[in-house]
Amino acid sequence: MLRRNAIASLLATGAWTKKVAWTKGIDRYFEGAHGTSVLVDRKTRRLMAAHAPELAGGSAVPPGSTLKPLVLNALLERGLVRADDAFPCPGDLRLGGRSFACSHPPLGAPVTVRTAIAYSCNCFAAHYASRFRAGELTRVLERWGLGSLTGWFGEHEGAGRVWDAPPQLQALGEDGVLVTTASLAMAYCRLASRAAPAVLAGMADAVSFGTAQRARVTGLKVAGKTGSARTPAGVYLAWFAGFTDGAVVTVMLQGRSGGADAAPIAGRILEAHWKGRL
């Protein structure tokens, strides 16, 4: 779905050939990587810049683990998990005949909401997601706006999609949800304004020492979450979604690792915005 020739084909369509102001110098931070990004003002939710807007607003793909902060925040709000609940991660996880084994090293202590986000613990997220009633997580994701239009890209914008699926897979962003880079950014705008302390701390930890370390910007507080996914066509995607006090950014590109591939781009974009270059 996002192979290089597919990107070239999409860029060539008449609907998106006009150069738009949204690019605003953001393209340089991709350094040749194939993907897309949006940068949004955190307070006003105004689109400030976009790389490859035809993809940002028009391509719906699996979001992977970028959903975990949204899902865990909803679990906390509903009292289905507490911030201090501790879960010994078994490491191995199989869902629907597929392996979703945790990639983090042994942590030496039971996992909490905070550390589950920092280290992207699949076992923790899947275990507590099973507490949602049938269809409840679908409604949660719809309320975050993941299946809605943002209005940032006019008549050519497409929406994500949310449907009922096993909640464990849905919580990992592997089934029951497709998002655009734009709709995920809008969801993170909402998250930034209402994140539970444990969720916010976990996202800050992810950037400080967890999966998103390469999004760090010296002197700037960055909170975020990485993700990795594979499209039905077999294309590997790398994600980063996060925010500072002033901006929200999402990055999606072809790659195997959100931490290695998407997070550095996000860091460069956030640093440029902070320093007034965007």
Give me the torsion for CA of 24, 263, 226, 200, rounded to 10°.
-80
pLDDT-derived band at 232, boundaries 50, 70, 90: confident
Q: Domain of 248: which CATH number?
A: 3.40.710.10
Q: Is residue 7 part of a domain?
A: no
Asked which of 20-24, 191-195, 233-237 is least confident by mean pLDDT, the reply is: 20-24
Mean pLDDT (whole number) for 21-50: 89
Three-state DSSP string of the chain: CCCHHHHHHHHCCHHHCCCCHHHCCHHHHHCCCCEEEEEEECCCCCEEEEECHHHHCCCCECCHHHHHHHHHHHHHHCCCCCCCCCECCCCCCEECCEECCCCCCCCCCCECHHHHHHCCCHHHHHHHHCCCCCCHHHHHHHHCCCCCCCCCCHHHCCCCEECCCCHHHHHCCCCCEEECHHHHHHHHHHHHHHCCHHHHHHHHHHHHCCCCHHHCECCECCEEEEEEEECCCCCEEEEEEEECCCEEEEEEEECCCHHHHHHHHHHHHHHHHHCCCC
Number of domains the chain contains: 1
Q: Is residue 232 part of a domain?
A: yes
Q: Is the pLDDT of residue 156 over 90?
A: no
Residue 148: Cβ-neighbour burial (10 angstroms; 0-12, 13-18, 19+): middle
235 close to 2: Cβ distance less than 8 angstroms? yes
Six token digits for residue 215:
């999004």
pLDDT-derived band at 70, boundaries 50, 70, 90: very high
Mean pLDDT (whole number) for 169-179: 97
Residue pLDDT, tens place only, 83-92 = 999 999 999 9
What is the model's pLDDT at position 32?
87
Q: Is residue 93 part of a domain?
A: yes
Please count the other Cβ atoms lying within 10 Å of the Cβ belonging to residue 4.
Answer: 9
Q: Is residue 112 part of a domain?
A: yes
Residue pLDDT, tens place only, 247-265 = 999 999 999 999 999 999 9
Asked which of 2-11, 39-48, 49-58 is least confident by mean pLDDT, the reply is: 2-11
Dist CA 108 CA 258 (whole Å): 24
pLDDT-derived band at 97, boundaries 50, 70, 90: very high
Q: Which residue did the predictor score with more confidence, 263 or 20? A: 263
What is the model's pLDDT at position 22?
58
Q: Is residue 6 part of a domain?
A: no
Please count the other Cβ atoms lying within 10 Å of the Cβ belonging to residue 110.
Answer: 12
pLDDT-derived band at 17, boundaries 50, 70, 90: very low
Dist CA 224 CA 117 (whole Å): 9
Mean pLDDT (whole number) for 13-34: 67
Dist CA 64 CA 272 (whole Å): 26
Dihedral pair phi/psi, residue 114, rounded to 5°:
-60, -50
Q: Is residue 4 part of a domain?
A: no
What is the model's pLDDT at position 278?
86
Dist CA 181 CA 107 (whole Å): 31
Q: Is residue 2 part of a domain?
A: no
Residue pLDDT, tens place only, 111-129 = 999 999 999 999 999 999 9
Please state the length of the chain: 278
Q: Is the pLDDT of residue 24 over 70?
A: no
Domain of residue 200, residue span: 18-274
Mean pLDDT (whole number) for 21-31: 79
What is the model's pLDDT at position 182?
97
Residue type (1 letter), 177: V
Mean pLDDT (whole number) for 141-155: 96
Dist CA 141 CA 89 (whole Å): 25
**pTM, entire model:** 0.92
Q: Is residue 102 part of a domain?
A: yes
Q: Is the pLDDT of residue 209 over 50?
A: yes
